[in-house]
Amino acid sequence: MGRLPAAKRREQLLDCAAGLFASHGYARATTAELARAAGVTEPIIYRHFKSKRDLFIALIERTGKQTIDQWRHDLASAEDPAERLKTLIGDNPMVSEQGRDAYRVFLQAITEVDDAEIHKAWNGHIRSLQQFLAMELARAQENRRVTRHFPAELIAWLLIDIGLGYGLLSAMKVEGHNFDATGELHVQQLLTRVLVGRALEPRDDEG
């Protein structure tokens, strides 16, 4: 592969690493394998990342930014806070085409490697998502479109907890974990109804 500008080479290495980690796992993948997949020599990798761990941390950070960028894109045409929340509930990066592989790699790596720096990066990643959700929830609460019985930051953590569990069960191919016995009511619909309730109907002060 020909010479690329530094920024593009870095992105290319991260893209290749995401695919390699998805197929081999973080712990088993080597920089030699990454170099072959990227069509470069190992020294090229070390020009951009000090180690495989630093590369993995960069991938965690990039994926968090990509998730929030995707949420912002999907919310661009949604004005009503309740509709925005409904969109976010259905926009779980754990099962989306863009984020599915990366998030499964992250969860797998956490079980394989007990590394303080990786845990720190993952903690920052999750907190950035939680803060984004909390901001949206607070906005919806201010507009009386979401229940105000619980703090926005706590509801945001609830969404993170449920989203990770949903993604994990999906990755494990657990059948029927997302629908009721009739196959008509989805857990995302249930969660939306619990949080939003009548908020998608006219507000009391509008009648």
Domain boundaries along the sequence of the chain: 1-49, 56-201
Instruction: Give the pLDDT score at 205.
Output: 41
Chosen CATH of 1-49 out of 1.10.3720.10, 1.20.1070.10, 1.10.760.10, 1.10.10.60: 1.10.10.60
17 in Cβ contact with 34 (< 8 Å): yes
Q: How far apart are CA 158 and CA 153, in angstroms?
A: 9
Instruction: Give the pLDDT score at 132.
Output: 96
Instruction: Give the pLDDT score at 70.
Output: 93
Instruction: Give the pLDDT score at 198.
Output: 53
Q: How far apart are CA 53 and CA 63, in angstroms?
A: 15
Classified by CATH at the fold level, domain 56-201 comes out as Tetracycline Repressor; domain 2 (1.10.357)
Per-residue pLDDT of the chain (207 residues; tens, 9 = 90+): 457 788 999 999 999 998 899 888 888 999 999 999 999 999 999 999 999 999 999 999 999 999 999 999 999 998 888 889 889 988 899 888 878 888 888 888 888 888 999 999 999 999 999 999 999 999 999 988 888 889 999 999 999 999 999 988 988 889 889 899 888 888 888 888 888 865 444 444 443
Q: How far apart are CA 44 and CA 40, in angstroms?
A: 6
The 3-class SS string of the chain reads CCCCCHHHHHHHHHHHHHHHHHHHCCCCCCHHHHHHHHCCCHHHHHHHCCCHHHHHHHHHHHHHHHHHHHHHHHHCCCCCHHHHHHHHHCCCCCCCCCCHHHHHHHHHHHHHCCCHHHHHHHHHHHHHHHHHHHHHHHHHHHCCCCCCCCCHHHHHHHHHHHHHHHHHHHHCCCCCCCECCCCCCEHHHHHHHHHHHHHHCCCHHHC
Tell the residue number behind the tokens 């020599």, with chain if given.
41
Q: The whole model's pTM is what?
A: 0.85
